[in-house]
Structure 1
């Protein structure tokens, strides 16, 4: 699953942006200083990291993220947060998630003041153990308690119509790996030790993550290879039609080329598509169908590792 399009309206009260992310290549965001290149990327990171405090500090009206599977994530402020003198929107942000079937789920958003207030309230509740800002664990039953739940539960007269976080949205956030490196903030720092250390830290972390992904891929591929004969002989298999085999093998070949181009897989030579699939026997179709399924499973880790927000360049 990948981000396909990002829409941001009334950024700083004046800018509207639409960014389409290329699936097979690198998307570069460029523009004049001050138009919101970094703000767009920060919105993505804050939403997927569920950092509502940082998100509430970005002055926009609507941020809509469209995924390639039809899911639409929207972060929106109401018109009541609009400052007519400056045109800037601020305050609470509500998150909604539209599923591919058209149904909508809600995820609660709080403004900075309410978040700070929830912190003060939670300090008076000894059974709430703070995990991070805006999130506690109830020591009585082990449940996680978020800021909006603190407000709704412990403030007399507060609205009881709580918006619960979307389990569907949580599953999306947990599956996405979003990082942002402010490279434009590091210009002209050749003599700045701290800046150099920051760059080195980012590069080291990226190398570490790539090694982890490759290790997971190798482990998964080895497990599938070792059990392939057993599963082929003793288990019932899904047999694809010749046309489905062609389609999946071509897609697999394209993914291999893509992963090779960015250094996650060694370069390969020659096509993986057999010359005459239509003439294959049922037994061979069953074997190649299992091979395709195994290949798709083992490449999941590598494909998910590409889910990184594009770097801001200026």
Structure 2
């Protein structure tokens, strides 16, 4: 089930917008003047599917609707309990329509049982980016929002030490969210929340860390997990290799030339995996087999060997494709500043200078020493390739942030490669004509009411 269209009525009391998604090319671009609601619509869509309902209380609107490609739809309605549209007198209702237009409703009440919380409210002060500005009022620094206690619990329920759910949702709503994966990549993406093991008060409370550092550690762990899987697969196959060789039936259909070709392809695959940092270099891995040495017995042994090596190396297929694409895009863009990226199973991202004056001893650059534009690009590309589930809808707010014009001009082409490899749909908001280039066919313009 994929999201086909989103729409809003009465946004900020002014705007009605309809955004059909480009289902064929899988990239849709929203553009329009400041204040027309580009970011607001991304945040509302993300807020619904990730249960961050406070966004609907903080943004003025009348109806927000999502249509799916299977004929189903869902609406979030904001209704006033009185003639005065005072925030705390408004209520939210979620209406779901199935294929037969049968309606299911769920009133989205605010969380009112905060007196039953099983932890001290002071623990909220440990949430990164959250600053207390009143007895029960906080400011969320990354977005500048002012949040009440209920808003904070709405927003951060997933990381708070809650022993019981504060809001029970109907089964149809849970299923709707589980069937549609939505991820928002915000314009502020250089700081990241990561679990901190050093907090005695609440060890699982995240701390603020530069995102490039967090993702560098994460990709190292991903590589290590694949190496562990590779080791397990290798041990299993090596243990049974003699038995399978003995039991192997002759393969008359495989010629000596085909067998040599398979061996050469395996060595090429192994070399690529070494190049991107997934395997260590083995000086004894290269070998050539001459035609006169391949008899029928050798052919059977090599046939089993080829099949085993293909199975061993296949554990790296997905991560290798993603690393190769990330590395190629990054190195093409970072070459202007004489930097080259590689990967390491212990350090994660490795950056080296391509130009080093005699007076300088600097060779390796830490990811945190990259420019803000370089960090924005690296974080965005990494999230698209490694942080998003296949068949998800990714929301990107202002991808042009901190990117010079040359990078913006290449962005859509890079994005097309990524969406194809990672199986993603993208909805992004931008002000930049340099991002759009000649792809105005992918755009939806947000307009104001007719005067």
User: TM-score, normalized by length of structure 1?
Assistant: 0.51
The answer as to 2:115 corresponding to 1:120 is yes
Q: Is the 8 A contact 1:28 1:312 kept in 2?
A: yes
C-alpha change, 1:98 and 1:122, in structure 2 (3 Å) is same
Q: Is the 8 A contact 2:385 2:418 kept in 1?
A: no
| Residue of 200, 211, 234 corresponding to 2:378 | 200
The DSSP-based 3-state class of the residue aligned with 1:32 is: coil
> CA separation in 1, counterparts of 2:425 and 2:382?
18
Q: How many corresponding residue pairs?
A: 196
C-alpha change, 1:40 and 1:146, in structure 2 (3 Å) is same
* Aligned-residue offset at 1:84: 6.1
- Residue in 1 aligned with 2:430? 313
> CA separation in 2, counterparts of 1:75 and 1:51?
13
* Aligned-residue offset at 1:311: 1.3
Q: Is the 8 A contact 2:54 2:154 kept in 1?
A: no
Q: Is the 8 A contact 2:118 2:162 kept in 1?
A: no
> CA separation in 1, counterparts of 2:30 and 2:84?
28
Aligned residue runs from structure 1 range 191-230, under 5 A: 197-209=375-387
* Aligned-residue offset at 1:122: 2.7
- Residue in 1 aligned with 2:256? none
* Aligned-residue offset at 1:3: 1.3
| Residue of 146, 163, 166 corresponding to 2:166 | 146
> CA separation in 1, counterparts of 2:425 and 2:172?
18
Cα-Cα RMSD: 4.0
Q: Is the 8 A contact 1:177 1:307 kept in 2?
A: no
The answer as to 2:153 corresponding to 1:36 is no
Q: Deviations along 1:163-217, whole A, 9 cap, x unmatched? A: xx2322211211222122344999xxxx99667545533322222147x759xxx
Q: Which consecutive residues of structure 2, in runs of 5 or more, have no partner in the other structure?
A: 121-152, 191-368, 392-415, 432-451
> CA separation in 2, counterparts of 1:89 and 1:13?
17
> CA separation in 2, counterparts of 1:82 and 1:313?
37
User: TM-score, normalized by length of structure 2?
Assistant: 0.37
| Residue of 163, 168, 174 corresponding to 1:170 | 174
Q: Which consecutive residues of structure 1, in runs of 5 or more, have no partner in the other structure?
A: 150-164, 215-260, 267-301
Q: Is the 8 A contact 1:95 1:108 kept in 2?
A: yes
Q: Which structure has greater strand proportion?
A: 2
> CA separation in 2, counterparts of 1:17 and 1:132?
26
- Residue in 2 aligned with 1:21? 21
The DSSP-based 3-state class of the residue aligned with 2:67 is: strand
